Amino acid sequence: MEPFKNFTGLLAPLDRANVDTDAIIPKQFLKSIARTGFGPYLFDELRYLDHGEPGMDCSHRPLNPEFVLNDPRYQNADILLARENFGCGSSREHAPWALADYGFRVILAPSFADIFFNNCFKNGLLPIVLAADVIDDLFGQAYGPEALRLRVDLPAQQLTLVSRGERIAFEVDPGHKDRLLKGLDDIGVTLSRADAIRAYEARRGVEAPWLFFSAS
Amino acid sequence: MGAKTLYDKLWDAHVVETDENGAALLYIDRQLVHEVTSPQAFEGLRLAGRRPWRTDSHLAVPDHNVPTRDLHEGITDPVSRIQVETLDQHCSDFGITLFRMADPRQGIVHVIGAEQGFTLPGATLVCGDSHTSTHGAFGALAFGIGTSEVEHVLATQTLIQRKSKTLLISVDGEVGPGITAKDIVLAIIGEIGTAGGTGSVIEFAGEAIRALSMEGRMTVCNMAIEAGARAGLIGVDEKTIAYLRGRPYAPSGELFERAADQWRTLVSDPGAHFDRVVRIDAACILPQVTWGTSPEMVAPVGARVPNPADQSDPVKAEGMRRALEYMGLEPGTAITEIRPDKIFIGSCTNSRIEDLRAAAAVVKGRKVAAGIQLALVVPGSGLVKAQAEAEGLDRIFVEAGFEWREPGCSMCLAMNADRLEPGERCASTSNRNFEGRQGQGGRTHLVSPAMAAAAAVTGHFIDVRQL
């Protein structure tokens, strides 16, 4: 995974609550056995007027003019502003794969669904929880004639509104932060603790031996 | 040590160690694997030259893409076929046990886990599927994970986790006659909302939960994720133990008795602290029908479709307006006036033998109504199907005009050929009524198997207790 770098980016507002992972990437695209190439199908049913299928060339598909990512102001957005319970539903990691592949690097919302939230960090995406009134304020500004640009500083845990210079602090789990900044391979890190895992297995195998063998 | 919750006990028993940031390395005893969320995980292992830490702790089965009829023709959709063949290949390469499509034990991953005794009390169990919460019905800590975590479990047998908050939902007293586990869990979600459990593990307790069969408990825990919870849990009792006795992957003989003694301790201690407690009066729960595009948009069958104008929260009101537009419903419409085009009885929520019995009891001696274009019954596994056929349930369904299909996820998420067309309305025993979930433009109403059967034979939603 690439280390997460500070950047200044464009914000796109998606003003609906409970955006589920079926909406982020519909089921027909889950048939892929690859990890890449989901970006053109991100929000497929909201973004296009026709029915999408895997492998389609999206450059000629009819766009839904009502959908925010089709608004000229928000082209090449890298920060998604969302409402509560973003990413609810299915555990599909295809959702963060699609968001990252499209070009998003940060998602701001008052709350996220748990599995989606964890999946983001595995893919270099930073989900940030902000207070509901801060989110409301950002929505208000995002709809102005000038799209909103934000500076994202992960080490300092700070967002800066480029136009007003206003700063917003945010929280992030120190483990998640460390792995994002270093672009660490989680599995490699865990395997460095193999002795502890083996010691646990030896202990647990005595307490609950039925968990350590399979069907007769 | 003070009084512990069931979650505390499961958590403490699985912490390998805690890192400098306070995150736990949690040992994972069991992993269920299916074709949709595993290919990239196996590929990741292969690219890094890694092998599974343990091969005996995983059980794989294709379910999402499998067709539910004409199995002898195989999977006709080439993309679906490649995904299932890829699972076969990966399991063969990495030494993982697989129930192939033709295996009589094949079925929906969350049906077969319990059926095989692969799910055990006191275990941690994960799967790249959000409805893994189902297995919490056995006093197991079970939760859905993404593909990167599937790979992490394959390679290390662990996950990096932080402890969740605890939410106790106590359903006190007895439910009325004809009220099922599905009605209980839909009523709970209606009460606490789809984000009501976010960041929490929910323990379901109370007389009404204790009174449920294991099948009913699985239905309740299955939908814990629809309340946003990390996992659902129900304490172990003699029903749990009786269900597991003699199952292929459960211990046997003296070891079973030893295990059972330990499993009996898997309940929350009296006086254990929960971060939040919600009490629901079981007697007030009525048959439920969802009217919108989120499981929290639910009402008793005797109610009317609500009016967004009555909602004070503007974001919620807008969500309701959008949902009603998508669903093609007007505020104030009686739920009983809503007429489905299709009926789906199946999914990891409601495709077990008890579900099929409940639906068949309603259908028996009746016919599918003229306005219903398709009524499907999709058993949760080959073994459920065989059991239902031994009891003659298949004949009841077929004589009434239902189609009796082969096991799989089917129209719950429409990755195979079973799906809704745009604008079609479905009475479905599945778990999600999201836009497009059962097919682009499809309109889903979530109900219990008995309520789906009642809608099938009358052509509209009706309180099954009136039939």
Concatenated DSSP letters for B151-213? Answer: HHHHHHSEEEE-PPEEEEEEEES-PPTT--HHHHHHHHHHHH-TTTTBTEEEEEESHHHHTS-
Range A175-188 average pLDDT:
93
**Per-residue pLDDT reduced to its tens digit, B432-465:** 999 999 999 999 999 999 999 999 999 999 999 9
Please report, as a single letter, which amino acid is at residue B213.
S
Range B369-386 average pLDDT:
98
Chain A nearest-CA residue for B253: A210
Chain B nearest-CA residue for A54: B79
Binding-site positions of B for [4Fe-4S] cluster: 348, 409, 412
Report CB contact under 8 Å: B53, A215: no
**What is the residue-wise DSSP string for chain A?**
-PPP--EEEEEEE---S--BHHHHS-GGGGG--SSS--GGGTTHHHHBSS---TT--GGGSPB-TTSGGGSGGGTT--EEE--TTBTBS---THHHHHHHHHT--EEEES-B-HHHHHHHHTTT-EEEE--HHHHHHHHHHHTSSSPPEEEEETTTTEEEETTT--EEE----HHHHHHHHHT--HHHHHHTTHHHHHHHHHHHHHH-GGGG----
Q: What is the pLDDT of residue B347?
A: 98
Range B143-152 average pLDDT:
98
Residues 7 to 66 of A: which have CB under 8 A from any B CB? 15-18, 20, 22-23, 26-28, 30-35, 45, 51, 54
Give B242→chain A minimum CA distance, Å.
17
**Which site among B19, B40, B133, B420 would you substitute to test the A interface, given the most A Cβ atoms closer than 10 Å to its Cβ?**
B40
What average pLDDT does chain A have? 95
Q: How far is CA A37 from the centre of its chain?
A: 16
Report CB contact under 8 Å: A210, B29: no
Chain B nearest-CA residue for A88: B228
User: How many Å apart are CA B342 and CA B350, to the nearest integer?
Assistant: 17
What average pLDDT does chain B have? 97
Chain A nearest-CA residue for B249: A215
In what helix (H) or strand (E) does residue B79 lie, and over which residues does it extend?
A: helix B78-94
User: How many Å apart are CA B409 and CA B430, to the nearest integer?
Assistant: 9
The fraction of chain A above a pLDDT of 90, given in percent, is 94
Among partner residues A54, A96, A111, which is closest to B79 by beta-carbon distance?
A54
Please return the burial class of B459, using the count of CB atoms within 10 Å of its CB with bins 0-12, 13-18 and 19+: middle
pLDDT of B402 over the 90 cut: yes
User: How many Å apart are CA B104 and CA B114, to the nearest integer?
Assistant: 15
pLDDT band at A214 (very low <50, low <70, confident <90, very high): low
Q: What is the pLDDT of residue B158?
A: 98
In what helix (H) or strand (E) does residue B314 lie, and over which residues does it extend?
A: helix B314-327
| Residues of chain B contacting A112 with CB distance shorter than 8 Å | 198
Among partner residues B64, B155, B164, which is closest to A187 by beta-carbon distance?
B155
| Residues of chain B contacting A190 with CB distance shorter than 8 Å | 25, 152, 155-156, 158, 160
Report CB contact under 8 Å: B40, A35: yes
Q: What is the pLDDT of residue A145?
A: 84
pLDDT of B78 over the 60 cut: yes
Q: What is the pLDDT of residue B194?
A: 95
**Per-residue pLDDT reduced to its tens digit, A2-23:** 899 999 999 999 999 999 999 9
C-alpha dist (Å) from residue B162 to A174, B43, B132, B200: 12, 27, 18, 11
More confident of the two residues B71 and B83: B83
Length of chain A, in residues: 216
pLDDT of A154 over the 70 cut: yes
**Per-residue pLDDT reduced to its tens digit, B404-420:** 999 999 999 999 899 99
Q: Which two tokens stand for residue A109?
A: 């919302």
User: How many Å apart are CA A28 and CA A92, to the nearest integer?
Assistant: 12
pLDDT band at A90 (very low <50, low <70, confident <90, very high): very high
User: How many Å apart are CA B274 and CA B301, to the nearest integer?
Assistant: 33
Q: What is the pLDDT of residue A99?
A: 98
pLDDT of B1 over the 70 cut: no
A127 has which bridge partners?
A: A107
User: How many Å apart are CA A49 and CA A136, to the nearest integer?
Assistant: 29
Domain A7-212, architecture per CATH: Alpha-Beta Barrel (3.20)
The fraction of chain B above a pLDDT of 90, given in percent, is 97
CA-atom Rg of chain B in angstroms: 21
Q: What is the pLDDT of residue A85?
A: 96
Neighbouring residues of B466: CB distance < 8 A, sequence distance ≥ 6: none
Report CB contact under 8 Å: A204, B27: yes
Q: Which two tokens stand for residue A83?
A: 């409402």
**Per-residue pLDDT reduced to its tens digit, B30-39:** 999 999 999 9
Q: Would you list the domain boundaries of chain A?
A: 7-212
User: How many Å apart are CA B208 and CA B211, to the nearest integer?
Assistant: 5
Report CB contact under 8 Å: B160, A175: yes
pLDDT of A215 over the 60 cut: no
pLDDT of A144 over the 90 cut: no
Report whether A137 contacts A130 (CB < 8 A): no
**Per-residue pLDDT reduced to its tens digit, B203-222:** 999 999 999 999 999 999 99
| Residues of chain A contacting B294 with CB distance shorter than 8 Å | 18
More confident of the two residues B22 and B380: B380
pLDDT of B317 over the 90 cut: yes
C-alpha dist (Å) from residue B261 to B14, B137, B211, B257, B265: 19, 18, 22, 6, 7
| Residues of chain B contacting A84 with CB distance shorter than 8 Å | 195, 315
B241-249: long-range contacts (C-beta < 8 A, 24 or more apart)?
B243/B114, B243/B138, B243/B214, B244/B117, B244/B120, B244/B121, B244/B138, B247/B115, B247/B116, B247/B117, B248/A215, B248/A216, B248/B116, B248/B117, B249/A214, B249/A215, B249/B59, B249/B116, B249/B117, B249/B118, B249/B120
User: How many Å apart are CA A105 and CA A121, to the nearest integer?
Assistant: 10
Give B376→chain A minimum CA distance, Å.
20
